Amino acid sequence: MDRSSSSKSRDASIPPGVGSSPVHLEGHLDLTAGQATDRGLRAANEDCMGLRIPEGPTRTLKGVAAVIADGVSSAEAGREAAEVCVQSFLSDYYGTPDSWTVKHSAQVVLTALNRWLYAKSHGTHEAHRGYVSTFSAVVFKSRTAHLFHVGDTRIHRLRGDRIELLTRDHSTRISDRDCYLARAMGMDAHLEVDYQEIEILPGDCFISTTDGIHDWIGTEEIAETVQEGLASGQPFEEICAAVAGRAKRAGSDDNLTCQLVRIDAVEPAETDELVRALTRLPFPPPLTVGDRIDGYRIERELHASPRSQIHLVVDEETAQRFVMKTPSVNFEDDPAYIERFVMESWIGRRIDHPAVVRIVDGPRPPRFLYHLMEEVEGETLGEWRAARETVEIRDVVELVEQIAGGLRAFERMEMVHQDLKPDNVLVDREGRARILDFGSCWVAGIHEIAVSIERDVALGTASYSAPETRWGETAGVRSDLFSLGTLAYELLTGQLPYGEAIESCRAPKDFERLEYVPSHHWNPMIPIWIDGALRKAVSLRAGRRYETFSEFIYDLKNPNPRFLRGENRPWIERNPTRFWRIVAAVLLVLELGTLWLWLG
């Protein structure tokens, strides 16, 4: 047997403190894993395998990864390709942002890896050597197993006495023993990876094998060998070696590799445990000008609401000025509120863009719950608009373009701001827009982690939030696009695109009664093509909005021929809801008339 290993331990390669996360998210994902490989009758072993079992925040945010690869024997560099696949995935996956989903993180890594392998095999001095390998990986995060697969390696799940093959071979068989791969890493410039999510339960066993095993023994034989080993308490690497040995005795003439991962426990942190973690730091006492907290002196109050207070503070040691945001004591017993407040600083530290206000770390560990922001001298976007009787369209478009740039920074981190409104955008002394307040942000990677508290569904401000957010859904970029379009409309007209009625809408049927008011109804100086861009951005149906911020900004700056038709468009395009209502009403009248004539 060439290599084997078993592990329940932490990943020693990750130093403590790196990639720290909110401790309240840390639940219990315990597992035991082992692996073994044998070159069999071959002169060299072209299989490769790898496990990464981190502890603490990294396990919570990125999960545990098990990877297996089989270098294609007909490719001269198959062995190197398999090793690169395993080693690079286990390294690069954990280097992706912890706000990304498992799927997005893995696909970015695999796409880059495939391009590198393909380039090595085509158009370089090593083009005569084929860098081609199969690849299968399982990432366990919270309550879910995320499977990534290309080629003819396999992943099975053993639950109780039932074993199930979770992957399908990407190969074409031409005889009992001969088949050709249709898909593999490095085979084609375009990579298509099978992906699926599977709920995991305690006791589940995930078994990954190369074709040197599953081409020679069936799934039931694999399950039988694993069950016997588990029942006798064998170390996991010995169980994997036993599976390989059984295939070898069955006549396998290929490399043989097996991985085994058993889920021992999977559950989010208990509610009491979670609340203790969230309330580790107490709420600050009520603060007034001149008060001191953690070495900061309160200079003045900038904003106060029932949910939070914002003060300008000065560090008494360095004389540096910061903006301090503190939670409201009204929510001391609300875990969902405290979680959002904690997450706000976590999110802010991961966004670095000129159009986003920076969250900063203070020089001393905090003794109370608050966070510090850079000081931005200026006014809110609402104050900026109120101070002007009229605004130039080009000035509004410039500000909207800057805000869109900041929202792209959230998009790159797989985040949705969800509370874009005039009070959450600052305009500094140089006229530059800065987004603030991340308390309503939706983070894709965090959304994958199960928690034991009930989170608020509808966040954000009703007048500016996309309809789908009212019932707890998000359309990603398109949700923030609705808010940005509403903001642009209001800056240009002083009104909301659907009026005040949107604030009372809760269910999908409520939004069907809303009607868009053309922006040039309020401001005749707005060109029809700009109104067309605004109308599309604030469409009540997410699928009809722009797909990207760039498209919206381009149409605000360049006349779109489609919008130049303006009111000459067919009525069904301008107001499809009203059109079909009237059609339905006419048909109903005709049906009733026909019925009356027939009865008469």
State pLDDT tens for residues 284-335: 999 999 999 999 999 999 999 888 999 999 999 999 999 999 999 999 989 9
The answer to whether 343 and 443 are in contact (CB under 8 A) is yes
Q: Is the pLDDT of residue 531 over 50?
A: yes
**Which element (helix H / strand E) includes 586?**
helix 576-599
Q: What is the mean pLDDT of the chain?
A: 89
CB 36 within 8 A of CB 1: yes
177 pLDDT more than 70: no
Hey, what are 574's tokens?
């301008």
* Residue 578 confidence (pLDDT) above 80: no
Q: Range with the lowest mean pLDDT among 2-16, 227-241, 356-370, 560-574?
A: 2-16
Residue carrying the six token digits 């290993």: 5
* Most confident by average pLDDT, 2-6, 78-82, 572-576: 78-82
Report the pLDDT averaged over residues 384-392.
93
Across the range 57-72, mean pLDDT stands at 94
Answer yes or no: is pLDDT of 13 > 60.
no
Whole-number pLDDT of residue 155:
98
All structural domains of the chain, each given as residue ranges with its CATH number in brackets, are 3-16+24-267 (3.60.40.10), 277-374 (3.30.200.20), 378-580 (1.10.510.10)
User: Letter for the amino acid at 561?
Assistant: P
Structural contact between residues 257 and 35, judged by C-beta atoms closer than 8 angstroms = yes
Percent of the chain scored above 70 by pLDDT? 90
Q: What is the pLDDT of residue 319?
A: 95
94-103, 187-196, 446-455: range with lowest mean pLDDT:
446-455
Instruction: Round to whole Å and give the CA distance between 18 and 475.
Output: 31
pLDDT at residue 457 in the model: 64
User: What's the confidence (pLDDT) of residue 3?
Assistant: 47
Q: Which residues contact 218 (CB under 8 A, 6 or more apart)?
A: none
**How buried is 195 (Cβ within 10 angstroms: 0-12 exposed, 13-18 middle, 19+ buried)?**
middle
- The predicted structure's pLDDT at residue 129: 61
Q: Which two tokens stand for residue 422?
A: 């005039």
Residue 50's DSSP bridge partners are: 67
Can you tell me the mean pLDDT for 400-406?
98
CA-nearest of 6, 53, 10, 54 to 33 is 6
Phi, psi of 201 (to 5 degrees): -130, 155
Per residue in 187-220, pLDDT (tens digit) is: 999 999 999 999 999 999 999 999 999 999 999 9
Residues 89, 127: contact at Cβ < 8 Å?
A: no
> Closest by alpha carbon to 311, among 275, 284, 331?
284
Q: Give the least confident one: 36-50, 111-125, 281-295, 426-440.
A: 111-125
Q: Please determine, for residue 428, whether its predicted confidence score (pLDDT) is greater than 80.
A: yes
pLDDT the model gives residue 268:
79
pLDDT for 366: 94
CA distance 199 to 439: 29
Of 122 and 168, the structure prediction assigns the larger pLDDT to: 168
What are the phi and psi torsion angles at 240 (to 5°)?
A: -65, -40
Of 207-211, 220-224, 421-425, 581-585, the one with minimum mean pLDDT is 581-585
pLDDT at residue 458 in the model: 64
Q: Encode pLDDT of 234-256 as tens digits.
A: 999 999 999 999 999 999 999 99
Terminal Cα-to-Cα distance of the chain (whole angstroms): 93
What φ, ψ does residue 117 adopt, rounded to 5°?
A: -65, -45
Q: Where are the alpha helices (DSSP H) in 494-548?
A: 508-511, 519-522, 528-537
The tens digit of pLDDT for each residue in 246-290 reads: 999 999 999 999 999 999 999 877 777 778 888 889 999 999 999
Q: Please tell me the predicted confidence (pLDDT) of residue 595.
A: 75
Q: Taking residues 83-106, what's their average pLDDT? A: 97
């000008």: which residue's tokens? 289
DSSP assigned state of 24: G
pLDDT band at 175 (very low <50, low <70, confident <90, very high): low
Q: At what angle do helices 236-249 and 219-231 cross, to 10 degrees?
A: 140
The mean pLDDT value for 347-369 works out to 94
Instruction: State the average pLDDT over residues 526-531.
Output: 95
d(CA 536, CA 558): 15
DSSP 69-101: EEE-TTSTTHHHHHHHHHHHHHHHGGGS-TTS-
pLDDT of residue 420: 96
Q: Which residue has the tokens 């001393």?
A: 364
122 has a pLDDT exceeding 90: no
